[in-house]
Amino acid sequence: MALTKADFAERLFDELGLNKREAKDMVEMFFEEIKGSLEHGEQVKISGFGKFELRDKSSRPGRNPKTGEEIPITARRVVTFRSGQKLKARVEAYAGAE
Amino acid sequence: MTKSELIEALAKHQPHLAQKDVEIAVKCIIEQMNQALSSGERIEIRGFGSFSLHLRPPRMGRNPKTGESVALSKKYVPHFKPGKELRDRVDASREKCKIVD
């Protein structure tokens, strides 16, 4: 079971008293703002969570793993996420589900 | 963009909410993500991406100062996989704008 936008909105409704519409819009806009910023080349740093970074990759030779055929991987811009100290520490403390 | 700039931008979009309420909402969303990941739960946001944990197996490390070997136990680290929409939008901007902080 994974956490989804609906779960975030539900919590904003339950705990903050936003109405359903406001809660849904808030969650939608939260992720849209981050996407918009990244789309404009601007990296996003959320203190207490982590940083969304951008990286320009130059083209490199690649291979179709199934056929072994060589196909070049084109130059591209990618998003990477680096978790902050606080999140890292909390996740490290997770022992795993057994 | 920083968290406070994100809060400002959201407040502009929701002018009927007080900035303070937007701030609380943003903190609530972030805390929920932190809680989910630190209890091993995945986060899946359509069009944005998914967060999950990756296992780092136990290994022998070294104290860089003394050169002494130390046993490091297994641990989990957060991992983000951008969704298709985010990947495409970011890649499309490659030739239009430079990367800034």
In this model, does residue A95 exceed pLDDT 80?
no
Q: Per-residue pLDDT averaged across B40-63, rounded?
A: 95
- Residue B6 sits at the vertex; the CA angle it makes with A83 and B35, to the nearest 5 degrees, is 40
Q: Is the same domain home to A47 and A93?
A: yes
Across the interface, of A33, A41, A47, the residue whose CB is closest to B10 is: A33
Chain A, nearest residue to B26 by Cα = A30
Q: Looking at residue B50, what is its pLDDT?
A: 98
Q: Is the same domain home to A47 and A88?
A: yes
Structural domain boundaries, residue A35: 1-42
Q: Looking at residue A62, what is its pLDDT?
A: 93
B73 touches chain A (CB under 8 A): no
Q: Is the same domain home to A56 and A80?
A: yes
CATH code assigned at A29:
4.10.520.10
Query: Distance (Å, rounded) from C-alpha B89 to C-alpha B82?
Result: 11
DSSP B7-62: HHHHHHH-TTS-HHHHHHHHHHHHHHHHHHHHTT--EEETTTEEEEEEEE--EEEE
Q: Is the same domain home to A2 and A34?
A: yes
Q: Looking at residue A96, what is its pLDDT?
A: 75
In this model, does residue A40 exceed pLDDT 80?
yes
Contact B78, A92 (CB under 8 A): no
Domains of chain B in sequence order:
1-41 (4.10.520.10), 44-100 (4.10.520.10)
Q: How confident is the model over A48-93, as pLDDT tens digits?
A: 999 999 999 999 999 999 999 999 999 999 999 999 999 999 999 8
ipTM, two decimals: 0.91
Q: How many residues does chain A have?
A: 98
Q: Is the same domain home to A4 and A24?
A: yes
Query: Distance (Å, rounded) from C-alpha A78 to C-alpha B49?
Result: 13
Q: Looking at residue B101, what is its pLDDT?
A: 85
Averaged pLDDT score across all residues of chain B = 95
Q: Is the same domain home to A22 and A55?
A: no
Q: Which two tokens stand for residue A95?
A: 């022992």
Chain B, nearest residue to A35 by Cα = B86
Amino acid at B28: C
